[in-house]
Amino acid sequence: MKKALIIFLIAFVVYFLLAEPEGMADMLSSIGSWFGDLFSAIITFFTELI
């Protein structure tokens, strides 16, 4: 079951990449921006503690 879910997820990503490359780029940009905001907030939190 777990292996089938992983294969399905990989197939979906490959299909999405081939069908909508701009959409995939936007999604990855959004994810990267989210992680950047997350790490910035964590750094700000620890900086304010010190």
**Is 7 within a domain?**
no
**Is 16 within a domain?**
no
Q: Which helix (H) or strand (E) holds 5?
A: helix 2-19
**Is 9 within a domain?**
no
- Say how many domains are in the chain: 1
**Is 12 within a domain?**
no
**Is 36 within a domain?**
yes
| Residue 46 to residue 41: CA distance in whole angstroms | 9
| Residue 44 to residue 50: CA distance in whole angstroms | 10
3-state class percentages of the chain: helix first, strand second, coil last, to nearest 5: 95, 0, 5
pLDDT in tens, the chain (50 residues): 889 999 999 998 888 888 888 888 888 899 999 999 999 999 999 999 98
What's residue 31's pLDDT?
93
Whole domain around residue 48: which residue ranges?
A: 21-50
